[in-house]
Amino acid sequence: MHVSRRSAMSYLLQFCGLSDPLQLFYLEQRSGPAFAGFRPVQLDGLLSWAQAIGQQRHWDLEVIHQAVMEAWMERADVIRQWQLRLRQEPDDRLLVAGLGTARDWERRCEDLLRA
């Protein structure tokens, strides 16, 4: 998990694992963090998605950009492992990433405990 420290508002980017498109669709329907699937996993795609989510939610786009860049650099080895694993998975599998505020992630965890 990653927290940006540049703003009063912090954003957490989490790589959640591999999923098929249907499960990703269900994740996207719930409130809380925004989720998306990536295949291939590339920085430009992740940044574009994060910026679009930031605009939709009226977040600080500079802080979003910084959070994604820092997470990408800090987790380069883990991201490479996900990229290699995706090559071995069926073509419909995606690496799921979630992006949200600390409160978004808290709500998500609370929802999981209620389920």
pLDDT attached to residue 113 = 85
Residue 86 falls inside a structural domain:
yes
Residue 102 · residue 26 · CB < 8 Å: no
Instruction: Kindly report the number of other CB atoms within 10 A of residue 34's CB atom.
Output: 19
- Report DSSP state, residue 30: S
Residue 5 falls inside a structural domain:
no
pLDDT band (50, 70, 90) for residue 8: low
- The pTM assigned to this predicted structure is 0.86
The string of pLDDT tens digits covering residues 69-100 is 999 999 999 999 999 999 999 999 999 999 99
Residue 6 falls inside a structural domain:
no
Q: What is the residue range of 35's domain?
A: 11-114
Residue 2 falls inside a structural domain:
no
Residue 1 falls inside a structural domain:
no
pLDDT attached to residue 93 = 96
Residue 108 falls inside a structural domain:
yes
